[in-house]
Structure 1
Amino acid sequence: MSMFNWLFQPFIEFDFMRYALAAMVFLAVSTAPIGVFLMMRRMSLVGDALGHAILPGAAVGYLMAGLSLPAMSIGGFVAGLTMALLAGLASRFTNIKEDASFAAFYLSSLAIGVVLVSRNGNSVDLLNLLFGSILAVDLPALTLVAVVSSITLLALAVMYRPLLLESIDPLFLQAVGGRGSVWHLAFLVLVVLNLVSGFQALGTLMAVGLMMLPAISARLWANSMGGLIALATLMAISCGLAGLLFSYYVELPSGPAIILCCGLVYVLSLIFGQESGLLPRWWRHRRHRAH
């Protein structure tokens, strides 16, 4: 048996590994571009807040219908969207900044979700909601992820220019009647939608990792928007594949293993990243001083 066949034997032999890999590819293709826009709009922690915010909705769906994918997904989507709207209203009508509003609401949401599951479920249910189980992804869950990924890519194709303009120069977009607040709200809906599709596989705590870590890592290598999105997507797919294989052969939980791979890529990018990594910056500074 060749090295290649040995390494990828799990995907050849087991259906659940093929489902998990397909889910990771779909998630990577949709969440990585979302992560890039979040980073460019200085909203990285907002993604984390929304990831926590879907927990109480998913918990309510679980308590009402058990481990039902539609119930938990609808509950998570409604909870995440509600928190985004409430945080936006709080920042609009008070002197509290939007990031502070998100922090306040997401901490409360996380506590409510944990209390709901702890009082009416068990520790295993809570762990599944928080950390997911990508190896348990079945055909309905894979279909949901594929549909959300398709919707996201189509929506981003339509929203790309106004989102890019609002990220770089929101005042100019406002001056030309670009309706920045509408695009901002639509973008938040996409963020919540992707977190809901991701929490089934990676859990509410880990889904944000696949969204943000590849995007942040890519920023250390590229400076154009197209390059950032392409590189972040490639990194997310590669980390998903490596994390699945690592979790299979070392017998670790698959979701955390995938995010650990993303974290390792970030550390390597932080050191070696051509755009603003520590070693290239040190080398450029040294050459500049020599001249």
Structure 2
Amino acid sequence: MTQPQYGLRRSVFSRTAIGRVPYAVPPPYVMPRWLRRLLLALLALLLLLLCLVSCREARKPESLSGSTLTGARKVAGPVCLEEAVDLSGSMVAYTEQRERAERELFAFAKRELSPTDRLSQAFFASDGRVTLKPSTLQSLSTVPPPPEDLGGGTSLTPAVAGLIAARGSDPADCAARALILITDGLIGDEPGLIDAAIRAGGYTRIYAVAPAGATGAGRGNLSGGLLDSITVYGFHDGGTFGRVASVLGDARPLDVIFGDILADLTGQQLTKSGTDPDDAQ
């Protein structure tokens, strides 16, 4: 015998068209006027910021070959650069870039600098060695290659001491003398030793030039005592990363940084060739 089936049944009223609620299309979203004005203001601010950044980037020199020193030179005697180059493992990858920038520097020196402006160079790792005694920048087209047997550490003190000792063969009386460190800042010197070595150098300025984006790039361990007075630059090698580094960190090509340093020492401005100096501010 078949059992009766029981179940819930909807009322006749709910099953008729008259008992159904018709579907209503929701009204379209209308953005409040204050929110529209805020978004438009933010968009206008963003466009203005992009315009300012674009103008600023356009005024930056892109290479020394397209740059010049403008304004009167404010030092009466030679400008002397003493360059200490980090040969630790983290810096080997930048050797070709540094050598290319130095060749640009020598070409720049022949047309922009005094015949008495000078460069000397040392390399350092566990030990330091002078490879270029003080020489006029205009006489150089290349520099000796880096030594290969300086060990695997990063000790700046021997290089600074060597650069100071190399002055004995140089009759020039420098009006401005700069120590330029090509390093990522990860040096291992004892603070007292490096401070004493730099103090003995009597430097007018000290600069550290570090690869933008490298591990430890920037000031790194270059702090304490006289190291706090170091001016730090970041350099890039062009491309998309270079443009980003230029905008976010004011990084520049390495040869342009050499030009910035020379301008700082001579009291001039480094500008694009054909650019009004007042527009480069």
Give the TM-score, by structure 1 length. Answer: 0.23
The structure with the largest alpha-carbon Rg is 2
Which of structures 1 and 2 has the larger relative contact order (alpha carbons within 8 angstroms, sep 6+)? 1
The structure that is strand-richer by fraction is: 2
- In the superposition, the TM-score normalised over structure 2's length comes to 0.24
Q: Choose between structure 1 and 2: higher helix proportion.
A: 1
